[in-house]
């Protein structure tokens, strides 16, 4: 399974990439706005930092405008994956971009049939928003299992990306059911590798050796 970070905060990306080599990055318009950075230069900087796909989202809502914006985003760096909403217009744009070999990530996917539609359009990735599904009382990870099962029956090449991850059990479940990718908010990355018994055990060992922890 591949691990992406879900943020547009370049400093956090650098910090995590130091101890957990990232396979890619996902951003969205909210995360970019929160970062305060200029979108295009930010995407270029992220691509320099992480060796893997970097999703940059279009803001257009018509297929024609999405395609124009996609060309600009894809031209920023070879690692850019154009993120498009899973709408009819997004599907039209995806099919055109797929013909041009431009990588796409169909975002805001909330049903297995939407995921299948993304695959039919030739999407490179489809982002299933598990946290937002859980919020409305639908089991997000169950939806991901369904998508993986459907895709496996038809040798679909579109990769299943688990997004809107809220807690470590989402990450664990994603790995257990064989999701291709999980995109994780920065705070959860630390929680994934830290454990109080590791800290306690290390402190004990160092104390025995007459040493202290160098941070």
Cβ distance to ligand E4P smaller for residue 57 or 69: 57
**Choosing from 83, 120, 207, 215, which is the catalytic residue?**
83
- Long-range contacts, 151-160 (Cβ 8 Å, 24+): 151/115, 151/119, 156/116, 156/119, 157/119, 158/115, 158/118, 158/119, 158/122, 158/123, 158/124, 158/125, 158/126, 159/124, 159/125, 159/126, 160/115, 160/125, 160/126, 160/128
Whether 191 is catalytic: no
Structure tokens at 51: 């060796």
The answer to whether 164 and 110 are in contact (CB under 8 A) is: no
Instruction: Give min distance, CB of 6 to ligand E4P, in A.
Output: 5
Instruction: Give min distance, CB of 101 to ligand E4P, in A.
Output: 22
Interacting residues of 97 by C-beta distance below 8 A, sequence separation 6+:
67, 70, 74, 82, 104, 122
Instruction: Give min distance, CB of 23 to ligand E4P, in A.
Output: 14
Cβ distance to ligand E4P smaller for residue 31 or 203: 31
The site for ligand E4P (CB under 6 A) is made up of 6, 26, 28, 107, 127, 129, 131-132, 163-164, 183
Cβ distance to ligand E4P smaller for residue 49 or 199: 49
Interacting residues of 37 by C-beta distance below 8 A, sequence separation 6+:
8, 10, 45
Q: What stretch of H or E contains 107?
A: strand 104-109
Instruction: Give min distance, CB of 8 to ligand E4P, in A.
Output: 9
Cβ distance to ligand E4P smaller for residue 13 or 205: 13
Instruction: Give min distance, CB of 84 to ligand E4P, in A.
Output: 12
What is the DSSP-derived secondary structure letter of residue 167? S
Cβ distance to ligand E4P smaller for residue 136 or 213: 136
**Catalytic residue list:** 83
């Amino acid at each position: 399974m591949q691990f992406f970070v879900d943020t547009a905060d370049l400093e956090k990306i650098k910090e995590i990439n130091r101890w957990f080599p990232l396979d890619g990055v996902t951003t969205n318009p909210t995360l970019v706005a929160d970062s305060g950075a200029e979108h295009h230069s930010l995407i270029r900087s992220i691509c320099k930092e992480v060796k893997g796909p970097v999703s940059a989202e279009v803001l257009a809502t018509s297929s024609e405008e999405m395609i124009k914006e996609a060309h600009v985003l894809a031209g920023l760096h070879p690692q850019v994956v154009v993120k498009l909403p899973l709408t009819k217009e997004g599907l039209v744009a995806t099919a055109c971009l797929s013909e041009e070999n431009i990588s796409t990530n169909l975002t805001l996917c909330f049903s297995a049939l939407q995921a299948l539609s993304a695959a039919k359009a030739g999407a490179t990735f489809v982002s299933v928003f598990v946290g937002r599904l859980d919020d409305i009382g639908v089991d997000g990870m169950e939806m991901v299992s369904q998508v993986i099962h459907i895709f496996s029956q038809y040798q679909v090449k579109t990769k299943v990306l688990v997004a809107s991850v809220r807690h470590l059990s989402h990450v664990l479940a994603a790995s257990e059911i064989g999701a291709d990718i999980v995109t994780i908010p920065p705070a959860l990355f630390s929680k994934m590798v830290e454990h109080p018994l590791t800290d306690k055990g290390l402190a004990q060992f160092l104390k025995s050796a007459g040493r202290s922890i160098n941070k």
